[in-house]
Structure 1
Amino acid sequence: MEPLRSSDPARIADHRLLGRLGAGGMGVVYLARTPGGALVALKVLLAEYAEEAGFKERFRREVEVARRVDSPWAVPVVDADADAEAPWLATAFVPGPSLGEAVAAYGPLTERGLRVLGARLAEALSEVHRAGLVHRDLKPGNVLIAHDGPRLIDFGIARAPEDTALTATGMVVGTPGYLSPEQAEGRGGDGGIGPASDVFSLGCVLAFAATGRAPFGSGAVDALLYRAVHDPADLDGVPAGLLEVLGSCLEKDPDRRPDAGELARELAADGAARENEAQDDEASEWLPEPVTRLIAERSAAALALPDIEHTLAPSAGPAASAPAEPDTRGTSESAQPQDARPAGRRRFLLLAGGAVALAAGAGGTWWTVTRDGDAGGDGAAAAASSRWPVHTVALHADLSGPQRETGKAQERGLRLAVAEFNARDDAPFTVKVRAVDDKGDPATSARLATELTDDPAVLAVVGPTSDATAQTSLAKYDAGLLPVVAVSPGSTVLSIQGFRSFLHARLPDAVLPVYVSNYLRGTARSRKVGIVVDRPAGNYATDLSTSLSNVLGNAQQPSVPEVVSAMRRDFGSAVDAVLSAGADSVFFAGLPDRGALIAGTLRERGFDGARISGPALLDEAFLTKAQESAEGWTMVAPVIDATRKPEARKFAAAYRERWKEAPPRYAAEAYDVTGMLLKALAALPAKSRTRENLLAAVRAGKYTGITKPFAFEKTGLMVIDGNGGYLWRVEQGDFVYGGPAPLTV
């Protein structure tokens, strides 16, 4: 990002400009914040273009086209104004490089990376074509790279195949070198440019990503157009396993090319691009490590960008003047102006490079919840439904897939909070629960999010369960401004994408290394930390390891990094490397099954120093596979043991009474955020109980739960008042809760 120039405005509409992302002959693209604090890429056209006949109508069509494309792999439109003096368009900000930038700087992708890239771009194109459109300008510069996959951008010349307003016969539109033969020959007048043209361009993009060069070379435009029509593509260097599929994309005859859906299935035939596979293969190795690191650094830097000025008057939601109700579990504080909040309150801010700092400040209007009465059955809702208004709170979770235990725990926590609310004599309305199961599948998650958003009875959602399912669903919820509160996903990327309705009710993974560092330098008295980064863990490992390296570096604590490829199942060389370098403690950034491998290796080496990891290892699979090698391992996680925390005793007893077992991890957290939502909703006047007002009330307030206090930044990140990280240790073959992780050394 470049700094703003003196000629640049400070704002466009209500969007605050932060810097320049790029500029061209038609205008400038800025990085900006929406009034709600979301980061967007804001494309502004030069004013003189708006004076051309038909320009505003074409620009308005671009906006409409982009909004018709519904895919997790296409960047969504956030806002636009085609009638402004200088028309502008804002899309969600992706803090990653373009494909062209990534390949030019770090080289071609592996076959696995090409399959992930191709399958997801083909899925995006399939949605473009399903909307009755053709993109027409697919090239490396129009593909942005994120941790979980690519994002297709720029629908400026996308049109229906029969639309000749921009593509009359003989007119060539697009980027030479990536144009189909029919585009190169200007076959627009007879409707000859259809979906197959995009498939050809995708073949060109994949060839570039595989070799680092365009398949029809470089040089004069006329030469590039001629080669596209007459010459075979240069596929020298393309992995053998992809030659046939790329060759089919680059057929000169459009009728011989696969359609986008067929291409997506063929590229994903080996399962490489499926996000619902076993976690040891999930999205691993799809990007070169430097690109992964670049995305992590840009993501962390985005979190440190300025927020909306504090001089702006905050919008006064209906909850701003509502009186706080008494609370039998915590304290209630009166509302205060933002600049008059107690100086003693502490919050975490992620800074560039993953470092974390403490700064004064916390929420605005404070809220607590009344939980009088014992847990009741779902029959309480039925008994009250004839007397009170009914509102629905939804659970979006993995209830039958790989994270079903976490999903079921959250469902039960939510249902218990709802049952207690409905049992209250003074309940101003009845709450119904709608639970949906995405089975851990990102595509299903997106579909269910659309269904919940389209249901006007649903005023809030708790979930989803995983990073992958959250990533594909949050844009859907945001489109309907449906408040969604997540307690288990941890990816930092979720919080910086600017979703207005998303509330991240746990510490992101990139913050947890602050506690890890304090534990290692304080409790463990470590002098040098070995950091083992397991590539199959993808951006989870990157978030943890990058942040820990920076935190240790800021504390002048030596560390020894070692990266393990997904192709290796032997951690011997990595362990030997960090130990021979003098590491007396080891941090593992990875997932449970391979965590068991490194645990076994450390035990074989007789290592008795501190062994610590993040929340992923807090999983029964680690205990089962590591056996005695798991003994003594410590985990830092954003979750409590409700049976060991005094404030949660009443909840734990009610949970045992209802389900005949101790509450599992994440049940109390779901119980808390459900209580927070219901408290805020109950404080609103009956006619003001809308999604938008509920979101405003939760964002403006603070809620004291049984697990921790909850308050939120404008970006949806949680403000931590005290602790948000907790220690767990393996003792005698089980996870034992150790209380709050250390805030200081």
Structure 2
Amino acid sequence: MENGIKLAIEEANASGDYDFEVEYLPADDQGKPDKATAAAQKAISEGAIAVIGPAFSGAADTAGEVYAEAGIPAVSSSATRPDLTTKGYGTFLRAVPNDSAQGAGMAKYFDQATDAEKVVVVDDKTDYGVGLADVAEKELKAVGIDVVRQSVPQKAPDYTAAAKSVVGQKADGLIYAGYYEDAGPFAKKLASEGFDGIAMSGDGSNDMGFVKLAGEAANDWKLTCPCTDPTQEEATKKFATDYEKKFKQAPGTYSAESYDVAKMIIEQVAKTGGADSDSEKLMEALRGVEYKGLTKTFSFDDKGEFKNQTIYLYEVKDQKIGYVGNIDELGAE
């Protein structure tokens, strides 16, 4: 994500299209709510007029009020917990579909693309995991699929008991709502305990770190994400090539979306006065924006929620994460 933002800024400054220069300021909250206030205060104290982030839902929740009080737009390209736009943070904008869409997409896949009758839904007790699992459970039940809900705390020292419990349910499928650091070892234990159902996780696991940790046990896992694969979509292939040339690696999850958000903000800065723009003018412009980026068209409702709720499916084959496509289109097949 950071590299996507840096690339957008570099291109803008080199383009000659603007009479101002954009500066990149990192403010690292480490994805932790207890670090988010300090990171926000750093951005504010150093004169930022816009923030791309926070990246994680818990940190976005903590920092939301801080940015709102300062009047600074905080546009997150990855914080997906549904209630973030319901808390009245007047300057928070979500530039990605939320977990209500992702959980619904998971349920739609199980309902329309599989014969699953029973699914175990496991959360990692984080804000992100519980929120995603709640939606997945609700939507699975709504289409008539039996659900067993379990929780395994993040960074559990041993996933043997959790894996045995899942296998003991004799379910057709599993949804793990958590991050790749835990999905990896959990997947290995599930495989060793003989789980042979359809295994799925969300954008928190859509990372090669999951594959490295899980090894061969990662194969056949389905991964949902509100993000496209920039190396596969025609509109984003040039971005992917430029990114890889610059950073010597392929774009990661939300790299292209973060690039788009940076480009959108820079364009709105130009439209609201350039060097004379400020957070108030920028926030007003962003509320009504309709910006066509590489990944999608960006616009927000009156609560700051992203209007486009498309979810995409990925699948691990031969220990590589492969892009499958729009989950709505897959479900309709």
Partner of 2:191: 603
Say yes or no: does 1:411 pair with 2:2: yes
Residues 357-377 of structure 1 deviation map (CA, whole Å, 9 limit, x = unaligned): xxxxxxxxxxxxxxxxxxxxx
Say yes or no: does 1:736 pair with 2:322: yes
1:464 partner amino acid: P
Partner of 1:562: 149
Q: Which residue, out of 521, 530, 542, partners 2:119?
A: 530
1:530 partner amino acid: V
Go from structure 1 to structure 2 and tell me whether the alpha carbon gap of 1:603 and 1:454 turns closer, same or farther (over 3 Å shift). Answer: closer
3-state SS of the aligned residue for 2:27? strand
CA–CA separation in structure 2 for the residues paired with 1:598 and 1:686: 49
CA–CA separation in structure 1 for the residues paired with 2:275 and 2:214: 56
Partner of 2:111: 521
Contact conserved, 2:310 with 2:326, CA < 8 A, in 1? yes
Say yes or no: does 1:640 pair with 2:228: yes
Partner of 1:276: none
Tell me by how many angstroms 1:594 deviates.
4.1
Residues 538-582 of structure 1 deviation map (CA, whole Å, 9 limit, x = unaligned): 333322222122222332x22231314548731244223431xxx
Partner of 2:39: 448
Say yes or no: does 1:705 pair with 2:293: yes
CA–CA separation in structure 1 for the residues paired with 2:210 and 2:16: 45
Partner of 2:53: 463
Partner of 1:38: none
CA–CA separation in structure 2 for the residues paired with 1:688 and 1:659: 32
1:615 partner amino acid: D
CA–CA separation in structure 1 for the residues paired with 2:238 and 2:74: 26
Greater Rg over alpha carbons, structure: 1
Partner of 2:265: 677
Contact conserved, 1:482 with 1:692, CA < 8 A, in 2? yes
CA–CA separation in structure 2 for the residues paired with 1:517 and 1:716: 25
Query: More helix per residue: 1 or 2?
Result: 2
Contact conserved, 1:636 with 1:726, CA < 8 A, in 2? yes
3-state SS of the aligned residue for 1:435? coil
Residues 221-256 of structure 1 deviation map (CA, whole Å, 9 limit, x = unaligned): xxxxxxxxxxxxxxxxxxxxxxxxxxxxxxxxxxxx
Contact conserved, 2:19 with 2:275, CA < 8 A, in 1? no
Higher relative contact order (CA 8 A, sep 6+): 2
Tell me by how many angstroms 1:715 deviates.
1.0
Partner of 2:169: 578
Go from structure 1 to structure 2 and tell me whether the alpha carbon gap of 1:607 and 1:440 turns closer, same or farther (over 3 Å shift). Answer: closer
Go from structure 1 to structure 2 and tell me whether the alpha carbon gap of 1:699 and 1:442 turns closer, same or farther (over 3 Å shift). Answer: same
Partner of 1:692: 280
3-state SS of the aligned residue for 1:542? helix
Tell me by how many angstroms 1:695 deviates.
1.0
Q: Which residue, out of 254, 274, 282, partners 1:666?
A: 254
Partner of 1:255: none
Q: Which residue, out of 45, 70, 77, partners 1:487?
A: 77
CA–CA separation in structure 1 for the residues paired with 2:35 and 2:103: 32
RMSD between superposed Cα atoms in Å = 2.4
1:668 partner amino acid: A
Unpaired runs of 5+ residues, structure 1, are 1-409
Go from structure 1 to structure 2 and tell me whether the alpha carbon gap of 1:418 and 1:538 turns closer, same or farther (over 3 Å shift). Answer: closer
Contact conserved, 1:526 with 1:585, CA < 8 A, in 2? no
Say yes or no: does 1:497 pair with 2:87: yes
Q: What is the number of residues matched between the two proteins?
A: 327
Please, what TM-score do these two structures have when normalized by structure 1?
0.41
Go from structure 1 to structure 2 and tell me whether the alpha carbon gap of 1:453 and 1:615 turns closer, same or farther (over 3 Å shift). Answer: same
3-state SS of the aligned residue for 1:692? helix
Contact conserved, 2:167 with 2:194, CA < 8 A, in 1? no
CA–CA separation in structure 1 for the residues paired with 2:183 and 2:111: 22
Say yes or no: does 1:421 pair with 2:12: yes
2:215 partner amino acid: Q
Contact conserved, 2:57 with 2:128, CA < 8 A, in 1? no
2:45 partner amino acid: D
Residues 281-330 of structure 1 deviation map (CA, whole Å, 9 limit, x = unaligned): xxxxxxxxxxxxxxxxxxxxxxxxxxxxxxxxxxxxxxxxxxxxxxxxxx
Contact conserved, 1:703 with 1:710, CA < 8 A, in 2? yes
Partner of 1:623: 211
3-state SS of the aligned residue for 2:251? coil
Go from structure 1 to structure 2 and tell me whether the alpha carbon gap of 1:479 and 1:703 turns closer, same or farther (over 3 Å shift). Answer: same
1:734 partner amino acid: K
Partner of 1:356: none
Residues 686-723 of structure 1 deviation map (CA, whole Å, 9 limit, x = unaligned): 58622111111111121111111111111111111xx5
3-state SS of the aligned residue for 2:12? helix
3-state SS of the aligned residue for 1:512? helix
Go from structure 1 to structure 2 and tell me whether the alpha carbon gap of 1:440 and 1:599 turns closer, same or farther (over 3 Å shift). Answer: closer
Partner of 1:240: none
1:553 partner amino acid: K
Percent of residue pairs bearing the same amino acid type: 28
CA–CA separation in structure 2 for the residues paired with 1:602 and 1:687: 55
CA–CA separation in structure 2 for the residues paired with 1:598 and 1:660: 30
Go from structure 1 to structure 2 and tell me whether the alpha carbon gap of 1:712 and 1:573 turns closer, same or farther (over 3 Å shift). Answer: same
Tell me by how many angstroms 1:502 deviates.
0.7
1:559 partner amino acid: D
1:690 partner amino acid: D
Matches within 5 A, 1:100-139: none
2:294 partner amino acid: I
3-state SS of the aligned residue for 2:120? strand
Partner of 1:541: 129
1:622 partner amino acid: F
CA–CA separation in structure 2 for the residues paired with 1:686 and 1:564: 49
Please, what TM-score do these two structures have when normalized by structure 2?
0.89
Tell me by how many angstroms 1:606 deviates.
4.5
Contact conserved, 2:8 with 2:259, CA < 8 A, in 1? yes
CA–CA separation in structure 2 for the residues paired with 1:589 and 1:603: 18
Residues 147-197 of structure 1 deviation map (CA, whole Å, 9 limit, x = unaligned): xxxxxxxxxxxxxxxxxxxxxxxxxxxxxxxxxxxxxxxxxxxxxxxxxxx
CA–CA separation in structure 1 for the residues paired with 2:178 and 2:39: 29
2:7 partner amino acid: L
Go from structure 1 to structure 2 and tell me whether the alpha carbon gap of 1:413 and 1:572 turns closer, same or farther (over 3 Å shift). Answer: closer
CA–CA separation in structure 1 for the residues paired with 2:223 and 2:56: 19
CA–CA separation in structure 1 for the residues paired with 2:195 and 2:302: 45
3-state SS of the aligned residue for 1:612? strand
Q: Which residue, out of 39, 48, 62, partners 1:472?
A: 62
Residues 623-680 of structure 1 deviation map (CA, whole Å, 9 limit, x = unaligned): 2332111110001012222111111112122212322332222221111001111112
CA–CA separation in structure 2 for the residues paired with 1:651 and 1:584: 39
